[in-house]
């Protein structure tokens, strides 16, 4: 039986790469389009991309700020969790 490796190890450096950020925007955009479709709202792709990019930017900024403490840096895993939490909050409560 093999152990699964975490996506982010405790030694991973924050911040995440530009490619990871763009991947997040693409996934958030897909989620916005899905939620809009199933809730009976119309959102076109450019608008969904705009909303996703804005949510990601706010989440990234908030996670970068949260990653710094008075005694140094938080573990990357905690910063990634904050990033995901802030992204979701920006989508649900814009």
**Per-residue pLDDT for the chain (94 aa), expressed as one digit of tens each?**
445 554 555 555 577 889 999 999 999 999 999 999 999 999 999 999 999 999 999 999 988 888 887 777 788 888 888 899 998 888 877 6
Q: Which of 62, 60, 51, 63 is nearest to 27 (CA)?
A: 51
Beta bridge partners of 69: 72
Tokens 């840096």 correspond to 73
Residues 63, 42: Cα–Cα separation, whole Å: 31
Give the end-to-end CA distance of the chain in Å, rounded to a whole number. 43
Domain layout of the chain by residue ranges: 18-92
Q: Which of 14, 8, 56, 6 is nearest to 31 (CA)?
A: 56
Report the phi/psi class of residue 30: left, alpha or beta, with left for phi > 0 and alpha for psi in -120 to 50. Answer: alpha
Q: Model's pTM, two decimal places? A: 0.77
């Amino acid at each position: 039986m093999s152990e699964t490796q975490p996506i982010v190890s405790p030694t991973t450096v924050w911040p995440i790469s530009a490619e990871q950020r763009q991947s997040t925007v693409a996934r958030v955009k897909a989620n916005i389009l899905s939620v809009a479709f199933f809730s009976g709202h119309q959102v076109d792709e450019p608008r969904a991309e705009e909303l996703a990019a804005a949510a990601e930017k706010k989440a990234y900024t908030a996670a970068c700020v949260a990653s710094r403490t008075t005694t140094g840096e938080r573990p990357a895993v905690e910063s990634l969790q904050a990033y995901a939490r802030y992204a979701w909050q920006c989508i649900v409560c814009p």
